[in-house]
Structure 1
Amino acid sequence: MSQEKRSQIAQNLLSIHQEIKSLSRQYEVSEPVLLPVSKKQSVTKILDAYKCGERQFAESYFQEAVEKIKALPEDIIWHYIGHIQSNKLKVIAEHFDWIHTLASRSHAKKLNRYCQQCEKVMNVCIQINVDQEPQKSGIDIIQSEEINVMVNEIIDNCPSLQLKGLMCILAHTDNYDKQLASFLQLRTLQDELKARYGLSLDTLSMGMSADISAAIAAGSTILRVGQAVFGAR
Structure 2
Amino acid sequence: MKELTSALDDIRARILQATPPQLRHTNPALVAVSKYKPAEDVLACFEHGQRDFGENYVAELSEKAAALPTDIRWHFIGTLQSNKCKPLAAIPNLFAIQTLDTAKKATTLNNALPKSRTYPLHVFIQVNTSGEESKSGLPPISIEASTPETSELAKLALHIINDCDRLHLRGLMTIGSIEQSTSSGPNEDFSALVYTSNALQNILPKDRYPWGVDGKLELSMGMSADFEPAIRAGAGTVRVGTSIFGSRKTKDEVAQS
> Fold conserved (TM > 0.5)?
yes
Encode CA deviations 1:69-101: one digit per residue, 9 max, x unaligned: 111001111111111111110111111221000
Q: Which residue of 2 aligns with 1:177?
A: 185
Alpha-carbon shift at residue 29 of structure 1 (Å): 4.4
Alpha-carbon shift at residue 177 of structure 1 (Å): 2.0
CA distance in 1, matches of 2:45, 2:228: 23
Encode CA deviations 1:114-148: one digit per residue, 9 max, x unaligned: 12545451000100001111111000114841111
Q: Which residue of 1 aligns with 2:255?
A: none
After superposition, where does 1:202-221 map in structure 2 within 5 Å?
202-221=217-236
Asked if structure 1 preserves the Cα contact closer than 8 Å seen for 2:172 and 2:217, the reply is no
Q: Which residue of 1 aligns with 2:35?
A: 39
SS at match of 1:126: strand
Gap change, CA 1:119 and 1:22, over 3 Å in 2 = closer
Encode CA deviations 1:37-95: one digit per residue, 9 max, x unaligned: 01111001101111110011011111111111111001111111111111110111111
SS at match of 1:196: coil
Asked if structure 1 preserves the Cα contact closer than 8 Å seen for 2:197 and 2:217, the reply is no
SS at match of 1:140: coil
CA distance in 2, matches of 1:129, 1:142: 10
SS at match of 2:113: helix
Asked if structure 2 preserves the Cα contact closer than 8 Å seen for 1:109 and 1:158, the reply is yes
CA distance in 2, matches of 1:201, 1:137: 23
CA distance in 1, matches of 2:184, 2:139: 22
Alpha-carbon shift at residue 33 of structure 1 (Å): 1.1
SS at match of 1:223: strand
Asked if structure 2 preserves the Cα contact closer than 8 Å seen for 1:16 and 1:229, the reply is yes
Name which of 157, 161, 164 aligns with 1:155: 161
Asked if structure 1 preserves the Cα contact closer than 8 Å seen for 2:20 and 2:232, the reply is no
CA distance in 2, matches of 1:206, 1:161: 21
Aligned partner of 2:121: which letter?
M
The alignment yields a C-alpha RMSD, in angstroms, of 1.6
CA distance in 2, matches of 1:216, 1:97: 21
After superposition, where does 1:52-131 map in structure 2 within 5 Å?
52-95=48-91, 96-115=94-113, 117=115, 119-120=117-118, 121-131=120-130
Structure with more of its chain in helix, by fraction:
1
TM-score using structure 1 length: 0.92
TM-score using structure 2 length: 0.83
Alpha-carbon shift at residue 195 of structure 1 (Å): 2.2
Tell me which moved more, 48-57 or 134-143: 134-143
Q: Which residue of 2 aligns with 1:16?
A: 11
Alpha-carbon shift at residue 34 of structure 1 (Å): 1.0
CA distance in 2, matches of 1:214, 1:148: 27
Asked if structure 1 preserves the Cα contact closer than 8 Å seen for 2:154 and 2:203, the reply is no
Asked if structure 2 preserves the Cα contact closer than 8 Å seen for 1:99 and 1:124, the reply is yes
Aligned residue pair count:
226
Percent identity (aligned): 35
Asked if structure 2 preserves the Cα contact closer than 8 Å seen for 1:29 and 1:219, the reply is no
CA distance in 2, matches of 1:165, 1:204: 6
Flag structure 2 segments of 5+ consecutive residues without an equivalent. Answer: 143-147, 210-214, 249-257
Encode CA deviations 1:9-43: one digit per residue, 9 max, x unaligned: 111011111111111147x5442111100111100
Q: Which residue of 2 aligns with 1:195?
A: 202
